[in-house]
Structure 1
Amino acid sequence: MTTRLTPDICVIGAGSGGLSVAAAAAAFGVEVVLIEKGRMGGDCLNYGCVPSKAMIAAGKHAHAISEAPQYGVTAGEPKVNFGKVHDHVHSVIASIAPNDSVERFRAMGVTVIEAEAHFTGKATVMAGETEIRARRYVVATGSSPFVPPIPGLDSVDYLTNETLFERTRAPKHLLIIGGGPIGMEMAQAHRRLGADVTVIEGAKALGKDDPELAAIVLDKIRAEGVNVLEGSKVTSVEKRGKTGVRVHYEGENGAGQVDGSDVLVAVGRLANVEGLGLDEAGIKHDRRGIKVGANLRTSNSKVYAIGDVAGGLQFTHVANYHAGLVVQQILFRAPAKENRDIIPWATFTDPELAHVGLTEEQAAERHGGKIQVLRWPYAENDRAQAERKTEGLIKMVVDRKAKILGVSIAGAGAGEMINMWALAVTNGLKLGDVRGYVPPYPTMAEIGKRAAISYYSPITRKPIVRWIVRFLRRFG
């Protein structure tokens, strides 16, 4: 028998963005229905950010043991129990899961339906035996790993981020197809945990980041023993013996092949739009996701789309950002628009790679080349020297009025350091605003301050400025 609900808001998808919308609406006493067919918490909690960072942490501990002798500490060769690494990863997921659980959200007053949802019209959704007719809808179904149509790939038990963290035994030689953030993070983590690793990337590894800074990260990863094949397009995959696999590729120097024990596919993600009945609801979409305006509203005025399914930047924090924008519009009827220029991101390799705002290339294009690029190396920082984390650089792009347009960092703690610069870019701060702040000594944050004040170095050499200083000295 069909149950009918008429909430103010219906959210489809209980990943980061969907949970944020539901929690905010419930906090204001608004009736909200949340529909999820899979695991609460979505990809980030169960298959993405959380387990990957937990595995990276395990790899860092193993690497710290091997690095210990340069600090005067000897601990022997690290011994990795991959089964216990698996347990660590899943214990982290389990510790966070209650925050995203059905029970918690029902306690907030959210009606949670554990079923698959699909639109049956422009204003109705079916979820199991429940029909929902809400004032507004928010589609937050996220994305799934893209598996390219590589000949022979379906003949092997390939891994994706949805299956990688279920392993209790380390791969002997992990072949990773794709050298983006996920591929490179997992390459370094598995290498540190004892596996041989080869990455096959069709273009440039970490190609979406500043090439100068990406090179710093890639040099370190290669130095740790990861084989990174750039400009190498995978042409086919085949089984090799009972448990092995061979990947064939076409590179800049001709055809090649590499043998391994396992294959991880990490070439990107596809928006989860299948089975939602978007056509029945009059919602325009394509293989990249649901088409939305800057206000995240779809072609159906009752429906918004947020996070990965909206076809833009695929980060958990973007989904949360989107959630705030649609809550503002739905509950308070206040206009809101997405601004991608303020979105930071970080790749949690070692050294880390982080960015916010415009790249050097983007800034030059928008400002007609009237920009200035400031740099400061980690090697000039006392804390970096003390911790032997001197590989790295901060790169800052400013306009002719010293407004901060973008910042990129490669180095230890870059993911934390970028927060300050995200605040600066979001609020349109200038270098003069940064010049007056005092970072504690010794911290990595001083690197950014030094880069900022380097902008003023040429002023000290101007004859008129030196004349003024000499003149003022006459007064005692």
Structure 2
Amino acid sequence: MNTIRCDVAVIGAGTAGLSAYRAARAAGKHAVLIEGGPYGTTCARVGCMPSKLLISAAEAAHALHAAPGFGVHPGAVRIDGPAVMDRVRRERDRFAGFVVENVEGLPAADKIRGYARFAAPDRLLVDDHTEVHAERIVIATGSTPIVPEEWALAGPRVIHSDAVFEWTDLPASVAVIGTGVIGLELGQALHRLGVRVALYARGNSVAQLSDPAVLAEASSVLKRELDIRFQSQVVSVRPDGEQLALTTRDGAGNEQQEHYDYVLVAIGRVPNVQALKLDLAGIERDRRGVPLYDRTTMQCGTSPIFIAGDANDELPLLPEAADQGKIAGHNAALYPDVQPGLRRTPLAIAFTEPQIATPGAGWRALAHSHEGRFAVGEVSFGNQGRSRVMLQNQGMLRVYGEYGSGRFLGAEMIGPRAEHIGHLLAWAVQAGLTVSAMLDMPFYHPVVEEGVRTALRDLAEALKHPPPEPAQPCPDCTPGT
């Protein structure tokens, strides 16, 4: 068995791992990168980039469908499934190829192929060929889509999102289980490309939304186009000839069986930590086996072990993975002089239509951290000028501000141009702007952002009327005091 000694060992060569490796190297340390799977990040291979390629094709098809609303009448629309999927795969391979080229350009001595597991807090075994003695270790092993075992027994037509981007043609029908970001994005895209799609949700969730008003609006808007079955539980999935028989139970207890070419499971992802033998790492873990860590330093307890990206199950987003990896790699290099790194304002976007964005603190978080101490402003895009001009006048924006300080806290929205509005509002949160200062900013006409101004004006008015302070108990109200 080979033996390698290094300052920093990084397990995983995805976005977080590459960021950690570069940060450790930039700090002057000898770092190695361990990877057992294919090079090329989740985003480039099976995530954000191929999904947006599919969504872009769907947007082109939908534009033709929507054109008569403007008095423009295109001819018969033909969707060429093989051509759609060929472009998705070609461009996906191009994006992933850039990442692979980057990894291949790293020093050969710094790359170890194989799957790592702990043998001690400072020692890793890579498959059965290499032992790595590392003074510090960064766990950046990513995550894997969840597919319940009993559903997977129905065969290869039960898939997760990764498999979609290997199709060479579009299927006739797909059942999507889950209405999170991935389920909604892929479900709507496939629907717009002519696939018969039904989406099933165990509850009433829509993407990352938690504000009851925005959630209700999103459910209403999306159900106008999509076949979404909320409050539906999967009873069974079984093969039936060339299709799958999916049996579900609705909220009233009624069961229904339908047939689909594929069942696409989009109910979440699980961190890839189970095979690491973390019991030998000497770090504390939660009930799921995920290491406990400080989100400002990415350090696991007081140990020289750090964790970044999807492996820590915090925010499975590429920008977060890159930031976390940089913090973890830098602190691993400087250990024990560990310092808080830059954690940016949270920003999550679902590329549905209308788009969904949650910049800064959302409703659920504020209800916990600022109960009774935050106000709400809102706007509907139903009659917003530019939105109506574009025939995209649906959705809602709700914005949140802090009583007293007037500080802008965050927002939740479904509506047109949400990916851009989300950035503006996230920047405002990170800059610590007040609602008053935001209203002093320029707004052009006619633009969708004028809706932001309307919501902020509503919020500014609400901030003028804080709720009464709760009565304080008298410390000693006995007679004679």
Give TM-score, length-normalised by structure 2. 0.87
Q: Which residue of 2 aligns with 1:250?
A: 249
Q: Which residue of 1 aligns with 2:172?
A: 172
Q: How does 1:57-72 map to 2 (within 5 A)?
A: 57-72=56-71
Q: Which residue of 2 aligns with 1:474?
A: none
Q: Which residue of 1 aligns with 2:346?
A: 343
Q: Which residue of 1 aligns with 2:105?
A: 107
**Residues 172, 195 of structure 2: 8 Å contact kept:** yes
Q: How does 1:213-362 map to 2 (within 5 A)?
A: 213-224=214-225, 226-240=226-240, 242-254=241-253, 255-285=255-285, 286-287=287-288, 289-294=290-295, 295-299=297-301, 301-332=303-334, 333-336=337-340, 342-362=345-365
Q: Which moved more, 1:152-161 or 1:170-179?
A: 152-161
Q: How does 1:373-392 map to 2 (within 5 A)?
A: 373-392=376-395
1:187 aligns with 2:182: no
**Residues 248, 258 of structure 1: 8 Å contact kept:** yes
Q: 1:422 aligns with which of 413, 419, 426?
A: 426
What is the CA distance between 1:263 and its match in structure 2?
0.7
CA deviation profile, 1:310-339 (whole Å, cap 9, x unmatched)? 132222222122123224423453521686
**Residues 19, 329 of structure 2: 8 Å contact kept:** no
What is the CA distance between 1:198 and its match in structure 2?
0.9
Distance 1:106 1:42, change over 3 A: closer
**Residues 146, 270 of structure 1: 8 Å contact kept:** yes
What is the CA distance between 1:215 and its match in structure 2?
3.5
Unpaired segments ≥5 residues, structure 2 = 465-481
**Residues 57, 84 of structure 2: 8 Å contact kept:** yes
**Residues 288, 311 of structure 1: 8 Å contact kept:** no
Q: Which moved more, 1:364-373 or 1:186-195?
A: 364-373
**Residues 150, 234 of structure 1: 8 Å contact kept:** no
What is the CA distance between 1:265 and its match in structure 2?
1.0
Distance 1:145 1:199, change over 3 A: same
**Residues 378, 459 of structure 2: 8 Å contact kept:** no
Q: Which residue of 2 aligns with 1:31?
A: 30
Q: Which residue of 2 aligns with 1:21?
A: 20
CA deviation profile, 1:230-255 (whole Å, cap 9, x unmatched)? 11111111222x21211112211222
**Residues 326, 336 of structure 1: 8 Å contact kept:** no
**SS, match of residue 79 in structure 2:** coil
What is the CA distance between 1:48 and its match in structure 2?
1.5
Higher RCO structure, 1 or 2 (CA under 8 Å, sep 6+)? 2
Letter aligned with residue 146 of structure 2: F
What is the CA distance between 1:221 and its match in structure 2?
3.1
CA deviation profile, 1:256-288 (whole Å, cap 9, x unmatched)? 222222111111111111322222222344536
What is the CA distance between 1:306 and its match in structure 2?
1.0
Distance 1:447 1:288, change over 3 A: farther
Aligned partners of 1:27, 1:90: CA distance in 2, in Å? 34
What is the CA distance between 1:32 and its match in structure 2?
1.8
**Residues 235, 248 of structure 2: 8 Å contact kept:** yes
Q: How many pairs were matched up? A: 456
Distance 1:369 1:457, change over 3 A: closer
Distance 1:95 1:175, change over 3 A: same
Q: Which residue of 2 aligns with 1:85?
A: 84
Q: Which residue of 2 aligns with 1:471?
A: none
What is the CA distance between 1:425 and its match in structure 2?
1.7
Q: Which residue of 1 aligns with 2:456?
A: 452
Letter aligned with residue 45 of structure 2: N
Give TM-score, length-normalised by structure 1. 0.88
**SS, match of residue 276 in structure 2:** coil
Aligned partners of 1:424, 1:264: CA distance in 2, in Å? 37
Letter aligned with residue 292 of structure 2: K
1:412 aligns with 2:416: yes
**SS, match of residue 369 in structure 1:** coil
CA RMSD between the two structures? 2.6
* Identity among equivalent pairs (%): 28
Q: 1:371 aligns with which of 370, 374, 394?
A: 374
Aligned partners of 2:41, 2:395: CA distance in 1, in Å? 34
Distance 1:430 1:92, change over 3 A: same
Q: How does 1:136-155 map to 2 (within 5 A)?
A: 136-150=136-150, 153-155=153-155
**SS, match of residue 290 in structure 1:** coil
**Residues 16, 309 of structure 2: 8 Å contact kept:** yes
Q: Which residue of 2 aligns with 1:473?
A: none
Letter aligned with residue 213 of structure 1: V
